[in-house]
């Protein structure tokens, strides 16, 4: 698995129609794994194969609780509309108001090549005037385990945690070896750079 470069808006492949996948084989599964790693490292909540330079109809999507893969995705039902702030990994640094459907039902194939149906009902609330108008780039400072839920909430709210600042590793355990803080471990799992004071 690898983190792939994400193409930006100047790349011609982003304007071309992606091709259907004939068969989900090991090369497609590897592409899916690489796309997941790339999306998480970015960090993002969705990624399509053309964004990493592959002109195929493959998408990976992260929701609050699950990771979804759709090969040859097709929308079969959509309802309602809402406007919310969104960004795109291929248009870095720009966040704007986007009109989206509140409920979408899509079908396609999963990573095993089996037919799946994906039903996403939006839980996005209407934006109020006191809400931040853009995704923030944040440096998070914390060490203890109780800071972990706050770090998670910042990421889930769509903000970019660019750096985590935490205390140095402390000696502990039977061998009195350096042990990382709970926040350092969490940041490492999230692929966020860590600076220790």
Q: What is the pLDDT of residues 163-184, one digit of tens each?
A: 999 999 988 878 888 888 889 9
Q: What is the pLDDT of residues 96-133, one digit of tens each?
A: 778 888 888 999 999 899 999 888 776 544 444 444 44
Judge whether residue 27 has pLDDT over 80. yes
Peptide bond into 43 cis (omega under 30): yes
Predicted pLDDT of residue 132:
46
Predicted pLDDT of residue 114:
93
Whether 137 and 93 have beta carbons less than 8 Å apart is answered as no
pTM over 0.75: no
Residue-range domain boundaries for the chain: 12-121, 137-196
Predicted pLDDT of residue 54:
95
Whether 67 and 30 have beta carbons less than 8 Å apart is answered as no
Give CATH for domain 12-121.
3.90.45.10
The vertex-180 CA angle with 165 and 154, nearest 5°, equals 40
Q: What is the pLDDT of residues 135-164, one digit of tens each?
A: 788 999 998 888 888 898 888 888 888 899
């Amino acid at each position: 698995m690898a983190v792939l470069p994400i193409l930006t808006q100047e790349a011609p492949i982003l304007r071309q129609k992606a091709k259907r996948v004939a068969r989900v084989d090991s090369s497609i599964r590897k592409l899916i794994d690489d796309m997941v790693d790339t999306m998480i490292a970015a960090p993002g909540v969705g990624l399509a194969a053309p964004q990493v330079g592959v002109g195929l109809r493959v998408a990976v999507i992260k929701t609050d609780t699950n990771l979804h893969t759709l090969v040859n995705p097709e929308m079969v039902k959509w309802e309602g509309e809402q406007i919310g702030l969104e960004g795109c990994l291929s248009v870095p640094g720009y966040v704007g108001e986007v009109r989206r459907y509140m409920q979408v039902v899509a079908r396609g194939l999963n990573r095993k090549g089996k037919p799946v149906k994906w039903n996403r009902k939006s839980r996005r609330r209407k934006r109020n005037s006191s809400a931040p108008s853009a995704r923030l780039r944040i440096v998070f400072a914390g060490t203890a385990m109780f800071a972990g839920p706050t770090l998670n909430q910042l990421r889930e709210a769509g903000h970019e945690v660019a750096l985590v600042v935490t205390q140095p590793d402390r000696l502990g355990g039977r061998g009195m070896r350096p042990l990382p803080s709970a926040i350092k471990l969490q940041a490492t799992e999230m692929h966020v750079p860590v600076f220790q004071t």
